[in-house]
Amino acid sequence: MKIEKQIHKSPMKHRHPVNFYLAVTLAAMLFIFIQSAFPASVSNVESRSIVAVLAKILGVDRRSLTFLVRKSAHFIEYLILGSCLMLLWDQWKLQKKQKPDNAYFAAYFPWLTGSLYAVSDEFHQRFVSGRSCELRDILIDSCGVAIGAFVIALLNRRRRPRRRKAWKTGRKRQ
């Protein structure tokens, strides 16, 4: 009997979901750091291979496509980081048995954390050969974090059962 109950447990209901989300968030941060540590020559080779494929498929000018691919990579990396940070924040709040924030406010702390990481990442790039620190990239990264965190906040809000207020149901509070 006990074995059957253990087999049918959901993988998300393990004892320490905060540790899991922390590990995933740190892995996303490490990935971003490693990508930023590559010199411009390596980064350009990676971009060119993707641009070559897309240029053939779309029939678009490579120069404008290169810019789009490079900035999209920034956005997507930080969209994933924002999602991870929001999941971590939500699990931490649940573990502390605190009331979940509304979706607008809940995304603030993950956005702030991700944006500060974007600033540190751009600062790190100043010391990498051929790379630079650009305000435009920080803004793109911050937008990615904000959208990732906000989407997860909205999804989590829809997933949780909502309590009805006493005045809406016509019943007295207990």
* CA–CA separation, 10 and 48 (whole Å): 43
Cα separation values, 133 from 62, 76, 122, Å: 24, 18, 5
Spans of all domains in the chain = 72-159
pLDDT classification of 8: cutoffs 50, 70, 90: very low
**Any residues with CB less than 8 A from the CB of 67 and at least 6 apart, and which?**
none
Q: Residues 78-128: pLDDT tens digits?
A: 999 999 999 999 888 877 776 666 666 778 899 999 999 999 999 999 999
46: helix, coil or strand?
Answer: helix
Cα–Cα dist 28/81, whole Å: 6
Global model pTM greater than 0.85: no
Distance (Å, rounded) from C-alpha 56 to C-alpha 61? 10
Q: Which residue has the higher pLDDT, 59 or 9?
A: 59
Residue-level pLDDT at 167: 45
What confidence score (pLDDT) does residue 83 get? 96
Residue 7 — very low, low, confident or very high, per pLDDT cuts 50/70/90? Answer: very low
**pLDDT tens-digit series, residues 120-167:** 999 999 999 888 999 999 999 999 999 999 999 888 877 665 554 544
For the segment 8-24, the average pLDDT, to the nearest whole number, is: 72
Distance CA 95, CA 83 (A): 18
| pLDDT at residue 173, rounded to an integer | 52
Backbone dihedral region for residue 129 (phi beyond 0: left; psi -120 to 50: alpha; all else: beta): beta
d(CA 54, CA 66): 10
